[in-house]
Amino acid sequence: MQNNPTVFLAADLEGTVGYVRWPEAPPEPPDRRAQVLTEVNAAIEGALAGGAREVIVSDSHWSKENLDHVLLTGGARLIRGGPRPCLWMTGVESADLVFLVGFHAAAGTAGAVLPHTIDRRIRSLSLNGENAGEALLSTLAAGYHGVPVGLVTGDRALVLEARSFLPGVTAVAVKEAVLEKAAVSLHPAEAARRIRDGATAAVERIPELTVLRPREPVDLNMELSEPHWQQALALVPGVRATGGLTINCRAEWPRIMALLALFAGWIR
């Protein structure tokens, strides 16, 4: 095992226990913020129990102001607020291992709770011909810096998605879709226990983990919900409009991430 690794923990909300409706304007209700804090703290506790030296938490959901730093356990550091140049993975280069907590399946996924990719204005997103959700984007962003993903938590559809490109990842399903906005969830205490145990196992398994690096140049194709979003992105050098709602960009990984961050954080 790598001695005393630093863990980068990206924390989303749609994949947490009980979350079954599309978010409205921030801030999230107190009960939703309390639940993501519970799941994040469980992952931190598990990481430290497994031998991690420290945990850096990336508040990753919408306004990225969902976690109270004072309430994080184990002296964890917190990246809060946005926009950020590499989306929620900004800062991953300083870590040895990544956890994705509270994540959700990619846009268009059947049998998933609130599936989407980055922003509901994006109907679909593919990288080198492969449908890409936030879990794959996160994995490639980490892999670009040589960092593996060891733990993924969310709904059952997200777990199946993550295992399709990370077959050895420790994955914890905390709920299962009934329909898009309905789910059967574990009890919060049971979800926390499984996340804690999974985090400990993930840290102990670092030598076995595979780093998934982006294959460059990356061929990005994206379908937007409205023509004006496509037209805005087509103004960026290197981006081509390929239809009434679609764009293409072929570039190195940092430029692809910068383009996605531009759309998510600055184009409104």
For residue 52, give the CATH number of its domain: 3.40.50.10780
pLDDT exceeds cutoff 80 at 192: yes
Chain mean pLDDT for the chain:
97
If asked whether residues 190 and 240 sit together in one domain, one would say no
* Beta-bridge mates of residue 152: 100, 171
If asked whether residues 171 and 46 sit together in one domain, one would say yes
- In this structure, what token pair is assigned to residue 210? 């595979």
* Residue at a domain's end among 177, 208, 239: 208
- Domain membership of residue 189 (yes or no) is yes
If asked whether residues 62 and 171 sit together in one domain, one would say yes
- Domain membership of residue 89 (yes or no) is yes
Q: Which domain holds residue 240?
A: 218-266
If asked whether residues 183 and 127 sit together in one domain, one would say yes
If asked whether residues 180 and 105 sit together in one domain, one would say yes
- The predicted-structure confidence for 201-238, as pLDDT tens digits, reads as follows 999 999 999 999 999 999 999 999 999 999 999 999 99
Q: Quick one: average pLDDT of 93-110? A: 98
Which helix or strand (DSSP H or E) is residue 197 part of?
helix 188-204
Q: Is 20 left (phi over 0), alpha (psi -120 to 50) or beta?
A: alpha
How many C-beta atoms surround the C-beta of residue 175 within 10 A?
Answer: 23
Start-to-end Cα distance in the chain:
45
**What confidence score (pLDDT) does residue 2 get?**
66
- Domain membership of residue 1 (yes or no) is no
- For the chain, the domain total comes to 2
- The predicted-structure confidence for 229-267, as pLDDT tens digits, reads as follows 999 999 999 999 999 999 999 999 999 999 999 999 999
If asked whether residues 176 and 262 sit together in one domain, one would say no
If asked whether residues 93 and 165 sit together in one domain, one would say yes
pLDDT exceeds cutoff 50 at 1: no
If asked whether residues 39 and 159 sit together in one domain, one would say yes
Q: How far apart are CA 84 and CA 91, in angstroms?
A: 10
Q: What angle is formed at CA 248 by the lines to CA 109 and CA 140, rounded to 5 degrees?
A: 60
If asked whether residues 193 and 242 sit together in one domain, one would say no
If asked whether residues 260 and 203 sit together in one domain, one would say no
**What confidence score (pLDDT) does residue 104 get?**
98
If asked whether residues 246 and 168 sit together in one domain, one would say no
The SS3 of residue 104 is: coil
* Residue at a domain's end among 208, 227, 249: 208
Residue found under tokens 């095992």: 1
- Domain membership of residue 13 (yes or no) is yes
- The predicted-structure confidence for 26-68, as pLDDT tens digits, reads as follows 999 999 999 999 999 999 999 999 999 999 999 999 999 999 9
- pLDDT-derived band of residue 3, with 50, 70 and 90 as boundaries? confident
The pairing of strands 246-251 and 239-241 is antiparallel
- The predicted-structure confidence for 119-136, as pLDDT tens digits, reads as follows 999 999 999 999 999 999
If asked whether residues 140 and 18 sit together in one domain, one would say yes
- Domain membership of residue 81 (yes or no) is yes
Q: Quick one: average pLDDT of 173-184? A: 98
| CB-CB contact of 16 with 36 (8 Å) | yes
* Beta-bridge mates of residue 99: 9, 151
Helices (H), 89-187: 134-144, 156-165
- CB-side exposure of 221: number of CA atoms within 13 Å? 9
